[in-house]
Amino acid sequence: MSENKFDFIIVGLGLAGSVLSRMLIDSGFKVLVFDKFNPGSSSQVAAGLVNPVTGRRVVKSWMADTLLPFANDFYRKIETESGKQFYHSMDVLEVVHSIKDLNEWTVRSADESMKKYFMREAPEELYNDKISEFKKLICINSSAWMNIPEFIELCRLKLTETSSIIEEEFDFSLMKINNNEIEYRSLKSKKIIFCDGYQTLKNELWKNLPFVPAKGEILTIKCPDLPEEFILLSGIFLIPVGQNKFRTGSTYEWNFQNELPSENGKSKLLNQVSDLLKVPFEIIDHRAGIRPTVKDRRPLIGQHPEHKNVFLFNGMGTKGVQLVPYFADHFTKVLSGKENLMDEVNLNRFTN
């Protein structure tokens, strides 16, 4: 294949584009990635929490039994290969404040399908004088947090070594979609895949898809008296990221004016952290990003309804860390003709 010809152009090196490009290259495809680095992109801002149990209703998160071990194995493989650690297995402690919630947790955690995520007693004494009064701490295992920017940086470096990345904005107006080929300036590619997160909203090709992007804000606090062995959940999360620092958040906003951190977001989070912590802390960082969330909260993957060589790998919403490896692997197999795309994530559920 000549220098300017590719099997795939990928637009976007967030978490989605990083994992997918890696898997396509490992499967023998020639890939070129375009990425305009944005420190406010969802992947750069995200907390990176992986949790098999979702929300107040105490339900197993979608496909957790399949997605979590797959994600764990994939990220560990990259860690071994690179000698860098970015995926941190860490139990979550859910802070239960009311008898009603405690009943809910007790019933749900005894459920046969959930039991394996509740194998450990929480060391409550660690937190007795550190956080506001609680009825119980429930320990959830198989959880983790990931330093997503570190992982993406590893992918970026690897792509740079093989001249497989162009670090500039992909300009849609310069793209020509022919029957069997995509042309972009002097470059030619058999196919193109958009992994451009919520910015895909600017892309005319996908304007009919029901993205409902959600702005999220997040703080980093310094709190020397809080134990660093567990992730705390109490409406907000507190993730220990080392050196007495904790990432905490996050807010959800669907009608936002811009991508920037706001005073309103900061004070909401500050109130929640102040309600939870009985030990002193200071805010050392405040960020905002836009999650690529979808109406039915499932990924949006697949082929454009009219242009057969144009694809989307997006819609990873609030749980990219656990969703992306499994679905990047599945999509790689789909693109290699080895599997059929799962109906539940196929974007044709909205275009047919």
How far apart are CB 81 and ligand FAD at their closest, in Å? 21
Q: CA-to-CA distance for 282 and 16, rounded, in angstroms?
A: 33
**Cβ neighbours, 10 Å, residue 24:** 22
Return the number of the residue (31 or 321) whose C-beta is nearest ligand FAD: 321
Contact residues: ligand FAD, CB under 6 A: 11-17, 34-36, 38, 41-43, 45-49, 169-170, 195-199, 216, 218, 249-250, 289, 291-292, 314, 316-322
How far apart are CB 352 and ligand FAD at their closest, in Å? 23
Tell me which residue of 150, 290, 321, 318 sits closest to 217, measured CA to CA: 290
Return the number of the residue (49 or 223) whose C-beta is nearest ligand FAD: 49
How far apart are CB 107 and ligand FAD at their closest, in Å? 26
* Burial class (CB within 10 angstroms; exposed 0-12, middle 13-18, buried 19+) of 179: exposed
How far apart are CB 42 and ligand FAD at their closest, in Å? 4
Return the number of the residue (157 or 279) whose C-beta is nearest ligand FAD: 157
Return the number of the residue (69 or 280) whose C-beta is nearest ligand FAD: 69
Return the number of the residue (167 or 225) whose C-beta is nearest ligand FAD: 167
Apex 215 CA angle, 301 and 92, nearest 5: 85
Return the number of the residue (43 or 303) whose C-beta is nearest ligand FAD: 43
How far apart are CB 310 and ligand FAD at their closest, in Å? 14
Q: CA-to-CA distance for 142 and 153, rounded, in angstroms?
A: 25
User: Pairing relation of β-strands 214-222 and 231-234?
Assistant: unpaired
How far apart are CB 313 and ligand FAD at their closest, in Å? 8
What one-letter code names the amino acid at 235? G
How far apart are CB 124 and ligand FAD at their closest, in Å? 25
Return the number of the residue (248 or 303) whose C-beta is nearest ligand FAD: 248
